[in-house]
Structure 1
């Protein structure tokens, strides 16, 4: 039986995790966490009934995870770092970096982002995680895990859209010319996908921008257009998304057909729904949406914001460390 939201899980009262306590200590390091107040957004409490807090139900997770191999997948923007006006300044905190590093010591850990692999690796600065850039179109294994990739530290494990690179560079130039006249529009080259950010575009200009980008992409059938949080993304028209990347990584790790594997995915955007769908289809795992407002999602559990993601990751590392110590 898979790990699903049962009625008993929803009703079980577990001490909420607001601010620092013993679970915020990893390897003797005290991490100062901000006090998180219960959300007061209209409808959020009702939404939580169907998407309970992964912190409040943490004991249910650990009970299900006993005797299983947990595999951790993480989005970056809005999950490990806050959403900011300038995409180049979406830095993760030192505390978050430490938490991810600790989690990766105990579980295979991957970061799957819409950013280029190089950019997200530059932000994260960890060598013990898998990196999936461009929504998983550019996957790199950690050096010690890359046995089948010629043992080269910088060897790329998988690039299913490599043949599209010349066309991607061409459309990037066209997009730059297209949006140049719209104040606040910003182009980000993520190697295998191109992001058009409009967070700083005036509301009255946003629809104009969208229409211009949509028209350009419609004339290039080798590309498709998706939309995230204040961003339009132009991607190669191949059947590949974060869910496919999750499956590929599970297979690479030798876990895809294993019955004792518990995949955990934390993300906040529409593109993460593809990964949630894969876990839901397996009927076993822990899909977690990061949101402070009610939203449609396939995820079974929720965290409010990156501060709660930090708290969850610290508890996860702490739990595994204590469990390992118990059986020594």
Structure 2
């Protein structure tokens, strides 16, 4: 099997927020050029499934911007019934995990499926589906929460953040248990920097926390060496696949926090890191999908392909 390598044009941002740098304006020509570097996973589907044949594919999915559209009100980021059906079908054939910055309980409430793993707070809160017997006792006995000791401090800074942003119209705080999100999508552009400075000033001298950025959101997280890439490795290990040579992780995500998972797959040199974007972005993902509608189409094709493969093997 041909080893994949990190695209030569991809450069990691040196900023502390891990931001993805736009490579150019969101124009048709620019996107067409970018897609040549990050080919559509739909166009490459036959090549992907050819590589996946007779291998153990493990599916990892982000939520916002991947399974659901990005919306003004984060409480209304609902996934469609068609997307839920597609994820359910995929999970029938492949171990499937949702890795989100939202709290585990919140993303589970959105997804409403019992046959997937849920990893909330960027992987700081992981729970296996009840039907799955994990090889890791920590998962079987309850949620795996590597930052559990930080909870009192998180609750304390949550109150301080609420006071800090209260006067900024449109600012919204979301408690994701191990990650506190400050949304500013509805804040006037003139107030964006004011909001950022207030949040940064609150966090800068708190060594137990670090500040990262997502799409129109600031996130306060525990200063623990753990991200979506670590969660991906933990879940592979939990499933008994971490050292397996025939495992192919497939990760679909749209945000800069998903780059941590892409890095893990790039380091393994096999697998399918897929970014969801309709504009050119600097990324180390190898493939792309434009938006959640293309994610839906890809997942449906993936489930259909595996179902066909399974039926063929039974006949043989």
Q: What is the TM-score with the length of structure 1 in the denominator?
A: 0.87
Structure 1 residues 226 and 2, CA, compared in 2 at 3 Å: closer, same or farther?
A: farther
1:236 aligns with one of 203, 222, 238: 222
- What is the CA–CA distance in structure 2 between the aligned matches of 1:321 and 1:129, rounded to whole Å? 18
Q: 1:65 maps to what in 2?
A: 52
**Does the residue aligned with 1:132 lie in a helix, a strand or coil?**
strand
Pairing 1:223-302 to 2, within 5 Å after superposition: 223-302=209-288
CA-to-aligned-CA distance 1:3-58 (integer Å, 9 cap, x gap): 53799xxxxxxxxxxxxxxxxxxxxxxxxxxxxxxx95340000011100000000
- How is 1:68-147 mapped onto 2 (pairs within 5 angstroms)? 68-147=55-134
Please say if 1:303 is aligned against 2:283.
Answer: no
Which residue, out of 155, 170, 173, partners 1:169? 155
Q: Is the 8 A contact 1:74 1:111 kept in 2?
A: yes
Q: SS in structure 2 opposite 1:144?
A: coil
SS of 2:67 mapped into structure 1: coil
Gaps of 5+ in 2: 8-25
Q: How far off is 1:308 after superposition? A: 0.1
The 1-side partners of 2:138 and 2:265 are apart by: 30
- The structural deviation recorded for 1:219 is 1.9
Aligned residue for 1:29? none
Q: Could you say what the CA RMSD is over the residues aligned between the two structures, in angstroms? A: 1.8
**Cα distance in 1, alignment partners of residues 142 and 117 from structure 2:** 11
Residues 1:208 and 1:129: Cα distance change in structure 2 (over 3 Å): same
Cα distance change on mapping 1:42 and 1:181 into 2, 3 Å: farther
The counterpart of 1:49, out of the listed 36, 39, 46, is 36
For residues 202 and 42 of structure 1, the distance between their equivalents in structure 2, rounded to whole angstroms, comes to 31
- CA deviations on 1:252-288 (whole Å, 9 max, x unpaired) are 0000000000000000000000000000000000000
Question: Hey, what does 2:189 align to over in structure 1?
Answer: 203
**Structure 1: runs of 5+ lacking an equivalent:** 8-38
Partner Cα distance (1:140, 1:298) in 2 = 28
SS in 1 for 2:252: strand
> Secondary structure of the equivalent of 1:43?
helix
- Determine the C-alpha separation between the residues in 2 that align with 1:281 and 1:93: 34
Number of equivalent positions? 296
Q: 1:3 to 1:56 in 2, by over 3 A?
A: farther
Give the drift of 1:241: 0.1
